[in-house]
Structure 1
Amino acid sequence: MRYLCLAADYDGTLATHGKVEQEVIEALYRLKASTRQLILVTGRVMEELKVVFPGYEIFDRIVAENGALLYKPATKEERLLGERPPEPFINELHRQVKPLSVGKVIVATWEPHQNTVLEAIKKEGLELQVIFNKGAVMILPAGINKAKGLKETLKEMNMSLHNVVAVGDAENDNAMLNAAECAVAVSNALPAVQHHADWITDHPHGKGVIQLIDRLLENDLQDVDCKLTRHYLNLGQRTTGEDFSVCPYGPNILLSGTTKSGKSTMATFFLEKLLEKNYQFCLIDPEGDYLQQPGAVRIGDSEHAPAVEEVLSLLNNPMQSVIVSILAIPLDDRPRFFNSLLSALSQMRKETGHPHWIIADEAHHMLPAPAAPSYYAIPDDFKNFAFISLSTEGMNEAVLNKITLVISMGDDAAKAIMEFSRFRNIQLKENAVTPLQKGQAWVWDVTAGNEPVLIKTGIPVHLQQRHKKKYATGDMDYNSFYFRGPENKLNLKAYNLIVFTQMASGIDDETWFYHLKRKDYSNWLRHSVHDEELAALVNKIEIDEQYGAGSRQAIVDLINDRYTA
């Protein structure tokens, strides 16, 4: 289940003319019976809300005063996220503005008094903000809004914004809608709110919320997935230059490739994309390949086996991703440990919606083909996993039968795709996949009935930085540039970019122009340094005769600017 929580505005959304109809309350009870959580997010103060909405206790949490006050109906606990403006400021507004309401943090009035409010804030030198809500003028501490209140509430509940669908109708709901995974506007919502919504209900007010609840219970808003492209995860680029991305919810990925095929680089790039969008992952690492992965905490090492309870404790915080090193677990015991961890993670997902992704590197260690498929505790609705392996041959059919997206890399990529198609009894054209070049992958959406797609894989940022240093000052070994000149009279090895610029400045003209005319410089930068942008700039110099003798200094300057300055 993707959406474990509904966050709903009150006035104009749940309520019609300030009152919530009985059929809306009944729909909320139906949603709550599905084990989903309910959060009311309103601009009203709690005392006023309790009077106009006696059924408020149906909600698991309430965010009141437009994000400034958090309330637990079950225990009646309150938590303030800010301080009320000083009394002299409030007294000054009382003298100039009517009506004026004052909560525990919020101070509010109505248009057209916004200019008076702004002048009073300026006069007192206060760090306050003004938020509008269909004619209402709300004064709050800087940084306090519905999104802030919702985030703090979810933090208390150990839940993620990626498991929330939010519904609203007015300007002050925009922050909450933008923060949630799915943003819904009731049909009576302001045009600006509808413009930013992922889905607009057919009905206004509470009837629109009922429609949303029915869709949640029917299919967990699966039909809205295609509109949530802002959350999609980039895997690389198509041959046409367009990004190739996948939905963050639903895919079951098999990433296969032989040693040095680039699958570890691809996996790291995928992890970076998850972290970039705040999707939590739990990665099981059997060989210590992810010890330096930024943005995640590591548990276990070559001497200390991780405990499932410790893993779950770390994952309680939905913003914390975890790498589970199982180096200390004997090979024969790894399937048992994986089964135990998978069972615990599956239960955690049911209750909290995260970890959003479960990733197993060298998955054949934990899911070997000889084991009985029934041994593994893989739920029928298991989604959002990525298993990384050398090939499909070593993987257990319990997993292979659930794969929906195959990413195949390396010299045997085409063979692996064809083997998987035969295993799943899915017909593919003989020429559907061809041998790959370095940095490419075949991606096959198994369930869509499409042909495999050829992509250029992305390079992780931290790997780019490491490589950039290597290219500038390290030893590029067989990727070095050799100044040979015509007839191979020379054999001068430039083993990094700094050495290249030094040699370029002193090499004889005949040798320099020999390589320039052959476009050896741009080809080296493109294929060995993997800097397409720099290669394109150098190529312009190579083909532009106006540079002439100045081509040497122009290319050296470009390299210095990007790598060695």
Structure 2
Amino acid sequence: MYFMALATDYDGTLAHNGLVAASTLSALEKLKRSGRKLILVTGRELPDLKESFREIGLFDKVVAENGALIYTPASEEERTISPSPSADMVDKLKRRGVKPLSVGRSIVATWEPHQATVLDVIKKLGLEMEIIFNKGAVMILPSGINKATGLAAALTDLRLSPNNVVAVGDAENDHAFLRAAGLSVAVANALPSVKETADLVTKGARGKGVEDLIRKLIKLDHMVMRKRSRGVLLGTAHGKKVYLSPVETVLIAGSSGIGKSTLATALTERLVEKGLQFCIFDPEGDYDGLQGAVPLGDASSAPSKDQLLELIDKPDTNIVVNGLALKVDERPDFFAELLPGLGRVRYRTARPNWLIIDEAHHLLPKKREDTRAVLSLELPGTVLITVHPEAISTGVLRLVTAVIALGPKAKDVIKTFCKEAGVETPKNIPTPKGDRVLLWRPADDKKPFTVKAIEPDQSLKRHSRKYAEGELDEAGSFYFTGPKKAMNLRAHNLIIFARMAEGVDDKTWEYHLRAGDYSKWFRQQIRDKELARETAAAEKDKRLSPEESRKLVLEAVRRRYTAPATAPEK
């Protein structure tokens, strides 16, 4: 379930002439039974609303006084989020003959044509106030207070993100909270300006329109979205934008060093732009320094499960869970132990909106099939990133709705996925060239097609401690074998590499040097192009003795990765 709440205006939307029809109440009850929250957003003052709408207890939260007052019907708690009206202003408005004049906990309200008098009084008193119009009503509120700010306060209480809310309204003062929601809807009787900016317009007017919306929401959930709510931009194909659905399970796969993390970084930037919460599980420290995210864990300290769940509880907080301090064989257990708590949060709030799992073959290995529940199709977006799709849990692969394959072996990625997931391999798979990636949705009739993928604005600084002290997997490690393959010394990080390089004989050192093995490892596994270029120069310089070339390469490594902690990372 993606949309977790419905926020609705009262007069002219839910109610007609101040009354809510029995059929509309029945629809609201049905929506609540689906597990969603109800939020009433109105310009009315609370006492008046309670008197007119006896069924107010149906709602989990009420935003009254055009955003200034938050009311919780279950506990009857009232909370103002703005100061009380200026007594001087109220007194002067009365003296100027402004009638009717209603004074609430924060709001002061009257009717046209008194707006000129109201503006004059505010100006003479030097007050910072806003005047909001609503079909003839004139509402005076502290600056910055509107239905959107009130909705935000209510959603904070409910631990929900605005992106997971559908908002419906009809009038001028509804613009703000409609824009703030993940999906904006105008009822058929709404003002033209409201209809023009809404994502959807109902066929029915007022309560009937709300009933129509509820039926669609229960049946279709995120599928009702249009326009700006269509999803996360992946790139362009044939001049058209290509989006990922907000509830897709995406597999990003390709050979090492081909740009998988770069694409994932670009996607996180789009998520930040849209205010969508994400959580990255980062076993190798590839997202160190990612903008817009809070890091949890590092090369020397494991991430805390309790702290992670605490951070996720805040809708505007994105998290990068760094697993460098965890051994490779500890990572699946760590992730599996997190799943129940993470699953409960996602089921209750649809957050994090996107779960990004790098090195998915480590965290969701084929030998474990107890991870499928948290990655259910009924939950929000998930991205699985891997070099080895064949090593991922089969149950998880069968949830994949979109495959993004990178590099010259993109065809093989799709073929491997099909074999492991038990789906038919598509025919005529194209080969992506240059900066393009291959996109395929198994459930679609369309064949795979190439997409010019978005690029990140930021260039991530590789985490030096990961490569200096961490533990690269077997495939990513360097192996000193010598010319006759008489040895098989594994260096799983740069410190070990440097120690082994100092200890191996000259023939072994020279064998790998002249084969270009060092620069290849630095480029493909350490992913440091500058180090690779510097090393390649030493590899090609036949004038260097083994001692000289060894010194040049190891000095370059230590300068970048094993310098004192106070030195800046390169």
Q: Normalised by the shorter chain, which TM-score bucket?
A: 0.7 to 0.9
**Structure 2, unpaired ranges of 5+:** 463-528, 535-570
Alignment-derived partner of residue 111 in structure 2: 110
Alignment-derived partner of residue 271 in structure 2: 274
Alignment-derived partner of residue 6 in structure 1: 6
Alignment-derived partner of residue 164 in structure 2: 163
SS at match of 2:294: strand
What is the aligned residue count?
Answer: 465
Question: For residues 232-251 of structure 1, what are the structure 2 equivalents within 5 Å?
Answer: 232-238=231-237, 240-247=238-245, 249-251=246-248
**Per-residue deviation, residues 36-65 of structure 1 (Å, max 9, x unmatched):** 111111100111111111221221111000
Q: 2 CA distance for matches of 1:45 and 1:181?
A: 26
**Per-residue deviation, residues 476-495 of structure 1 (Å, max 9, x unmatched):** 9869xxxxxxxxxxxxxxxx
The 8 Å contact of residues 182 and 228 in structure 1, kept in 2 or not, is answered as no
Match of 2:406 among 406, 409, 413: 409
Are residues 400 and 321 of structure 1, via their aligned partners in 2, closer, same or farther at CA, if it must alter by over 3 Å?
A: same
Alignment-derived partner of residue 193 in structure 2: 192
Are residues 377 and 214 of structure 1, via their aligned partners in 2, closer, same or farther at CA, if it must alter by over 3 Å?
A: closer
Q: 2 CA distance for matches of 1:359 and 1:157?
A: 24
Alignment-derived partner of residue 29 in structure 2: 29
User: What is the Cα deviation at residue 456 of structure 1?
Assistant: 2.4
Match of 1:461 among 440, 457, 461: 457
**Per-residue deviation, residues 204-258 of structure 1 (Å, max 9, x unmatched):** 1112212222222223252x22x143553222333x45433223x1211000111
SS at match of 2:390: coil
- 1:447 and 2:440 are equivalent in the alignment: no
Q: 2 CA distance for matches of 1:202 and 1:231?
A: 21
The 8 Å contact of residues 413 and 436 in structure 1, kept in 2 or not, is answered as no
**Structure 1, unpaired ranges of 5+:** 467-473, 480-565
Identity of aligned residues (%): 44
The 8 Å contact of residues 255 and 387 in structure 1, kept in 2 or not, is answered as yes
Which sits farther off after the overlay, 131-140 or 76-85?
A: 76-85
Are residues 91 and 57 of structure 1, via their aligned partners in 2, closer, same or farther at CA, if it must alter by over 3 Å?
A: same
Alignment-derived partner of residue 395 in structure 1: 392
Alignment-derived partner of residue 373 in structure 1: 369
User: What is the Cα deviation at residue 316 of structure 1?
Assistant: 0.4
Q: 1 CA distance for matches of 2:372 and 2:235?
A: 32
Q: 2 CA distance for matches of 1:16 and 1:139?
A: 24
Using the size of structure 1 for normalisation, the TM-score is 0.78
Q: 1 CA distance for matches of 2:390 and 2:144?
A: 54
**Per-residue deviation, residues 258-311 of structure 1 (Å, max 9, x unmatched):** 112111111111111111211111111111111111111111223322232221
Letter in 2 for 1:126: L
The 8 Å contact of residues 364 and 371 in structure 2, kept in 1 or not, is answered as no
Are residues 410 and 380 of structure 1, via their aligned partners in 2, closer, same or farther at CA, if it must alter by over 3 Å?
A: closer
Q: 2 CA distance for matches of 1:231 and 1:465?
A: 32
Are residues 67 and 375 of structure 1, via their aligned partners in 2, closer, same or farther at CA, if it must alter by over 3 Å?
A: closer
Alignment-derived partner of residue 136 in structure 2: 135
The 8 Å contact of residues 85 and 105 in structure 2, kept in 1 or not, is answered as no
Question: For residues 483-502 of structure 1, what are the structure 2 equivalents within 5 Å?
Answer: none
The 8 Å contact of residues 215 and 221 in structure 1, kept in 2 or not, is answered as no
The 8 Å contact of residues 283 and 324 in structure 1, kept in 2 or not, is answered as yes
Alignment-derived partner of residue 264 in structure 1: 261
In the TM superposition, structure 1's runs of 4+ consecutive aligned residues that sit over 4 Å from their partners are 474-479
The 8 Å contact of residues 289 and 461 in structure 2, kept in 1 or not, is answered as no
Using the size of structure 2 for normalisation, the TM-score is 0.77
The 8 Å contact of residues 57 and 74 in structure 1, kept in 2 or not, is answered as yes
SS at match of 2:408: coil
The 8 Å contact of residues 9 and 42 in structure 1, kept in 2 or not, is answered as yes
User: What is the Cα deviation at residue 422 of structure 1?
Assistant: 4.5
SS at match of 2:214: helix
Question: For residues 54-93 of structure 1, what are the structure 2 equivalents within 5 Å?
Answer: 54-93=54-93
The 8 Å contact of residues 339 and 376 in structure 1, kept in 2 or not, is answered as no
SS at match of 2:209: helix
Q: 2 CA distance for matches of 1:403 and 1:218?
A: 22
The 8 Å contact of residues 132 and 138 in structure 2, kept in 1 or not, is answered as yes
Are residues 122 and 374 of structure 1, via their aligned partners in 2, closer, same or farther at CA, if it must alter by over 3 Å?
A: closer
The 8 Å contact of residues 135 and 172 in structure 2, kept in 1 or not, is answered as yes
Q: 1 CA distance for matches of 2:419 and 2:433?
A: 20
Q: CA RMSD in A?
A: 2.2
**Per-residue deviation, residues 419-478 of structure 1 (Å, max 9, x unmatched):** 334444334223x312532x2211112222212221223221111999xxxxxxx97986
SS at match of 2:157: helix
Which sits farther off after the overlay, 409-418 or 127-136?
A: 409-418
The 8 Å contact of residues 247 and 380 in structure 2, kept in 1 or not, is answered as yes
